[in-house]
Amino acid sequence: MSRKMTGARMIVEALRDQGVDTVFGYPGGAVLPIYDELFQQNDIQHILVRHEQGAVHMAEGYARSTGKPGVVLVTSGPGATNAVTGMTDALLDSIPLVVLSGQVPTFLVGTDGFQEADTVGITRPCTKHNWLVKDTEKLAATIHQAFNVATSGRPGPVLIDIPKDVQFAEAEYVGPKQVDTSNYQPRRKGDIESITRLVELMEQAERPIFYTGGGVINSGPGASQLLRELVDATGFPITSTLMGLGAYPASGKNWLGMLGMHGMYEANLAMHGCDLMIAVGARFDDRITGRVADFSPGSVKAQIDIDPSSINKIVHVELPIQGDVGHVLEDMLKIWKSRGRKTNSEAVRKWWTQIEQWREVKCLAYTNSDSVIKPQHALERLEALTKDRDRYIATEVGQHQMWAAQFLQFDEPNRWMTSGGLGTMGYGLPASVGVQVAHPDALVINVAGDASWLMNMQEMGTAVQFRAPVKQFILNNERLGMVRQWQQLLHGERYSQSWSDSLPDFVKLAEAFGCKGRQVSDPAELDDAIREMIEYDGPFILDVLVEKHENCFPMIPSGKPHNEMLLSPEAEAFSGGAALV
C-alpha cells in the first residue's frame, strides 16, 4: 500500500502514530497547510492559545503531569521566537517537548523573507536538538526521531522547523517502526560494581541522606516506587529539590522536606552534616549548594544521573553512577537485600536524634494574624481544604512559589508543576491549563503571585474557551515580593521598582474573561472563599490580599553555606548539637 501524502498530512499522521492526543498552538502563514489538515480530522485536539509562550508552558504542564511529551505548533518568525522562553524553561527542567515550527519556503530561506527567522539558529542552545527539514521525504522519519530524542535519556525540548513548501510537497509516509532510532539510545543500566560500592557505603554510613531531584520524577512512577521502598527499608532520611517534590511522599516518615535556598533548616543541616550523600536525579544547582567550597564538607558523595554531564559538574562526587534512576534504584535494592539488608542502625538512630533536634527549631513558624491574611496561612488553608482531592498544583515564580513548596504536601509524583531551573514568571497559569487539559476532572490550582500572573494572563481566554476549570489562587502582596525581600535583606531596604503598581481589579478581570472571581482580605472569610473557588464549575480567580511585607524563611543568601541560614524571628533559637556540623 502506497502511503504517498503531503508533508502537512504526514505531520498529523506522524503525531497520531506517536500517540499524540493534544497539540497546543497558534496558526500563521507558514503553518496553514498543517492547520488545514488538523481541521479535517478528529483524533488530535488543538488548544488555541493566546500567545506562543503560553503554548509551550501548557505543553510543559501536560508533559509533567502525564509523563508523555507535550506537543506545540507555531508559525515562523514571531511564532517561533515567542516560543523561546518556554523551550529554555523545558530544557532547564528536563521536560520532553516536541515543537513544530513553520518556516518560509525553502527557496526563500536566507533572503530575509516575510516572517523569516533563523529558527534553528535561535533555538539551538535552548533545545536538546533541532532539525530543519528541507525535504518532504525526510519529514516523517525526522518527527519520529524527534519524539525519541525528546523522551530518551535526559528528556528535553526538541524543535522541527518545517518550510511551507515541504508541507505542500508529497512523499511516502513512514511509520515509527520503520525508523531506526538506534543512533540515539542513552545508557540506562548503571555499572554494577559501582552500585555495589554504594551499597557497601550505605551499610557503613553513620549519617546518610538521600538527596533526590526531578530526575526521579522523569524516570517514571516506577522510580518513585523504588525510591520509597529503599528509603523506608533503610530508614535513611530523605530530602528533595524543588523539582523532585512528590517522588517520596511528604507524609512519609523519613521526609525532611525540601532543601536549598528556601529549604527546611533540618534538611539543609542534614546535608551539611551527613557522612554519605546519595544524590538521585539531582544536579547540585547553585540554589541547592550555596557556597560550593563549604557544601557538605565531611561527606562521601554518590551521584546517580542519566546525564554524565550532570555528574561532577559543580560538586566533586567520589562515586558517580551513570544510568536511569529507576534502573539503578532497582539494582541498589536488589543488591542491598541480597547482602542481608544491613545498615549501621545504631548510628543512624543517633543521626535521627540530631535531626529531630534541628526540627525543633520549627523553621516554618510564622506569626498568624486575624486582621490580615498571612500567605503561609492561606497555603495552609488551601492544603487543608484540597489535600484529599485529585489535586494538581502549578505555581508562578517568587515568594508564593517557595511558600507553596514549603506548605503544600505532595504525596505523589507528577502533581507539582513549577519552573525550577529557569524561574520563569508567567509559567504557572498556562501550565495549569495544560495540566487541566490532560486531566479534565482533576482539581488544578495555580498558586500565583500578582506580578507573575500578569505575565501570561491572556491565557485565561484559553481556559475559558476550552472549559478548563483552572483555579488561580493569587497571593496578592502588591509587590514583586521576592525582589522586595532581597532588597530589604541585601540592598539596604531600597525598594527599587519592586512595587506592583496599578494592578488590575482581578475580579473584574475574571468577569471580563467570562469566568468568575472573588477577592478576599479577611482571614475569617478565607475558607469560604477557597471553598467557593473549588466548587465553582469553571475557571476561577481568587485574589487573596495578603500581608505585603512577609519574608520567606528559611533563607540561605546566595554564596553562603548551608549552616549560615537566615531564620524567621519566630523560629526557635537553636542551641546544642550544632557542634556536629
Ligand X SMILES: Cc1ncc(C[n+]2csc(CCOP(=O)(O)OP(=O)(O)O)c2C)c(N)n1
* CA–CA distance, 404 with 413 (Å, rounded to integer): 16
| Nearest CB to another protein, comparing residues 157 and 398 | 157
Residue 319 binding result from another protein, ligand X, Mg ion, none, given CB thresholds of 5 to 8 Å by partner type: another protein
Q: Binding to Mg ion (CB under 5 A): which residues in 457-516?
A: 477, 479, 481
| Nearest CB to another protein, comparing residues 119 and 268 | 119
| Nearest CB to Mg ion, comparing residues 300 and 480 | 480
- Of 148, 149, 147, the closest CA to residue 129 belongs to 149
Q: Cis peptide before 96, with omega less than 30 degrees from 0?
A: no
Q: What would the x/- binding string for ligand X be over residues 347 to 386, using CB under 6 A?
A: ----------------------------------------
* Closest separation in Å from C-beta 455 to ligand X: 6
Catalytic site residue from 164, 301, 374, 471: 164
Strands 4-6, 170-172: pairing is: antiparallel
Q: Collect contacts of 484-489 with beta carbons under 8 A, ≥24 apart.
A: 484/549, 485/399, 485/551, 485/552, 485/555, 488/549, 488/551, 489/551, 489/555, 489/557, 489/566
Q: Binding to ligand X (CB under 6 A): which residues in 153-212?
A: none
The answer to whether 330 is a known catalytic residue is no
Residue 121 binding result from ligand X, Mg ion, another protein, none, given CB thresholds of 5 to 8 Å by partner type: another protein
| Nearest CB to another protein, comparing residues 127 and 419 | 127
Among 39, 111, 182, 193, binds another protein (CB under 8 A): 193
User: How many CB atoms are closer than 10 A to CB 265?
Assistant: 26
Catalytic site residue from 277, 482, 533, 555: 482
Q: Which residue is nearest to ligand X (CB)?
A: 449
Q: Binding to another protein (CB under 8 A): which residues in 373-392?
A: none
The answer to whether 410 is a known catalytic residue is no
The count of residues in the chain is 581
The answer to whether 168 is a known catalytic residue is no
Among 116, 396, 459, 543, binds ligand X (CB under 6 A): 396
The answer to whether 24 is a known catalytic residue is no
Cell digits of residue 35: 492547520
Half-sphere exposure of 297 (CA within 13 A, CB side): 8
- Of 375, 510, 363, 353, the closest CA to residue 429 belongs to 510
* CA–CA distance, 483 with 499 (Å, rounded to integer): 9
Catalytic site residue from 4, 41, 107, 114: 114
| Nearest CB to another protein, comparing residues 220 and 308 | 308
What's the start-to-end Cα distance of the chain, in Å? 71
| Nearest CB to ligand X, comparing residues 162 and 397 | 397
Cβ(456)–Cβ(430) under 8 Å?
yes
Characterize 430-454 residue by residue with b for buried, 16 or more Cβ atoms within 10 angstroms of its Cβ, and e for exposed.
bbbbbbbbbbeebbbbbbbbbbbbb
Query: Binding to another protein by residue 114, rule CB under 8 A?
Result: no
* CA–CA distance, 581 with 579 (Å, rounded to integer): 5
Query: Binding to ligand X by residue 398, rule CB under 6 A?
Result: yes
Can you give the binding site for Mg ion, defined by CB under 5 A?
449-450, 477, 479, 481
**By the criterion CB under 6 A, which residues form the site for ligand X?**
396-400, 423-425, 449-452, 475, 477, 479-483
Catalytic residues: 52, 114-115, 164, 482
Site residues for another protein per CB under 8 A? 120-121, 124-125, 128-129, 132, 149, 183-184, 191, 193-194, 197, 201, 204-206, 275-276, 298, 300, 307-309, 311-313, 316-320
